Amino acid sequence: MDKLMNRSWVMKIIALLLAFMLYLSVNLDDGTSSSNKILNRSSSTNTGVETLTDVPVQVSYNEKNRIVRGVPDTVIMTLEGPKNILAQTKLQKDYQAYIDLDNLSLGQHRVKVQYRNISDNLNVVVKPDIVNVTIEERDSKQFSVEASYDKNKVKNGYEAGEATVSPRAVTVTGASSQLDQVAYVKAIIDLDNASKTVTKQATVVALDKNLNKLNVTVQPETVNVTIPVKNISKKVPIGVIQEGTPGDGVNITKLEPKTDAVKIIGPSDSLEKIDKIDNIPVDVTGITKSKDIKVNVPVPDGIDSVSPKQITVHVEVDKQGDEKDAEETDESAAEIKSFKNLPVSLIGQSSKYTYELLSPTSVDADVKGPKSDLDKLTKSGISLSANVGNLSAGEHTVPIIINSPDSVTSTLSTKQAKVRVTAKKQSGTNDEQTDKETSGSTSDKETKPDTGTGSGSETNPGTGNSGDSTDKPSEETNTPEDNTDTPTDNTETGDDSSNQSDENSTPVDGQTDNTSGN
């Protein structure tokens, strides 16, 4: 044996066997997965693991003639190896994940996700590493575009018409199977409480029958959409009837609404059928003296809403015998309370004009009524206003309206206010027309003396009907478009010029120099 071991060739064979066994012990696969080997090897102080998320997947194929579906947008790559190489790879960020489909035919395929620009000294695991893709012929078709919008999103009192789209058709490009699924091509518009014609650019989308968006290309991507929006309101006259029985010995001599007309809003076909709102019931049950009563305005069938929703009706009564004498005795026992420097406010202002109260800025008032009511009444319980809703540019004289409790009557030291109205400058304003309106309003307009009371539930004997006339403007809607419309059974057209009043006419007791809307 010693002789055998002393031979050189024997030692060489033994060394070769030992080297081979060492090689096998290092490289022999122990059955664990490559990902587990990465984690096990990372225990070495010189190696590490880096996970790269959201790595974009590049696809190589004939984009001009083919469409590919099923390729993920991103994959996850896990790298293991020397820490210095990992750090360099992560810092440079030139690694890529890709799929090569250039040599594949039409149809479905299982393909491997590959990578490049990563050092051979690193072990790489890609998830997913195999994907199912479908290769189809690219195709294009033309489709008509339909505007999509909610007609109920317009402003109350307006109606959206049929939309026009330009261009009317678009080209949709995608896989043949996808084009077969196209059920709708829509341009979506938000009307956003519109009160005038809407013109917008809208993005075009292709949808299947379940309104799911399809992954196709649309050219052009946007179209111009125009949607007409028109006013669907109308002013109609109203009428009232008595309901209920008044108190003993009391007769109802007059029911007078302080609002002549109301605005109704609804579909055009319903507006055409309605010329007036008549027979509005006024409940006079148990009434013993003249007073104002608020009543609700019914909404006719087919109409969406009515404005104003509530009106005031003046009820005039006539008492007989002892009842009338008792009332006159009570009237003579009434007291008077004076209020000084009550401020005057302007109501019914339009955004088209600026308003200036020239005179007076404050007014004194004598209030007559039962002592118990006057004791409770304070300055805050009385308000004065002037309705400027019907006025055009220029200087005007308007009645001062007093709002006070029904149990008292009021007399103002000044019953008229002078107001200057100036048109705001706007694009497209006809300067010549504005000048004409301004010159037509004279600053020296005056009203005849008004000896009636400013407000209250009762009218003083011998003072005429100025109290009723003065109170009427208070029931007008403060919305400018309501005040400027002359009551009519025609649908409103929005033409402001038709609502202009004759500013050169002489005003009468308790009325403005601009009588439209009263």
Q: What is the pLDDT at residue 26?
A: 57
Taking a C-beta distance cutoff of 8 angstroms, is the pair 477, 307 a contact?
yes
Dist. CA 473–CA 466, nearest whole Å = 12
pLDDT in tens, 121-143: 999 999 999 999 988 888 899 99
Any idea what DSSP says for residue 181?
T
Dist. CA 5–CA 11, nearest whole Å = 7
State which residues of the chain have pLDDT below 50.
29-43, 428-518
Q: What is the pLDDT at residue 7?
A: 65
Taking a C-beta distance cutoff of 8 angstroms, is the pair 419, 388 a contact?
yes
Q: What is the pLDDT at residue 14?
A: 80
Cβ within 8 Å of residue 274, ≥6 positions away: 234, 236, 264, 300, 302, 303, 489
Q: What is the pLDDT at residue 460?
A: 37
Q: What is the pLDDT at residue 421?
A: 92
- Which helix (H) or strand (E) element contains residue 467? helix 466-471
Taking a C-beta distance cutoff of 8 angstroms, is the pair 172, 141 a contact?
yes
pTM above 0.75, yes or no: no
What SS3 string covers 299-312?
Answer: CCCCCCEEECCEEE
Residue with token string 């307006």: 158
Taking a C-beta distance cutoff of 8 angstroms, is the pair 174, 283 a contact?
no
Q: What is the pLDDT at residue 327?
A: 53
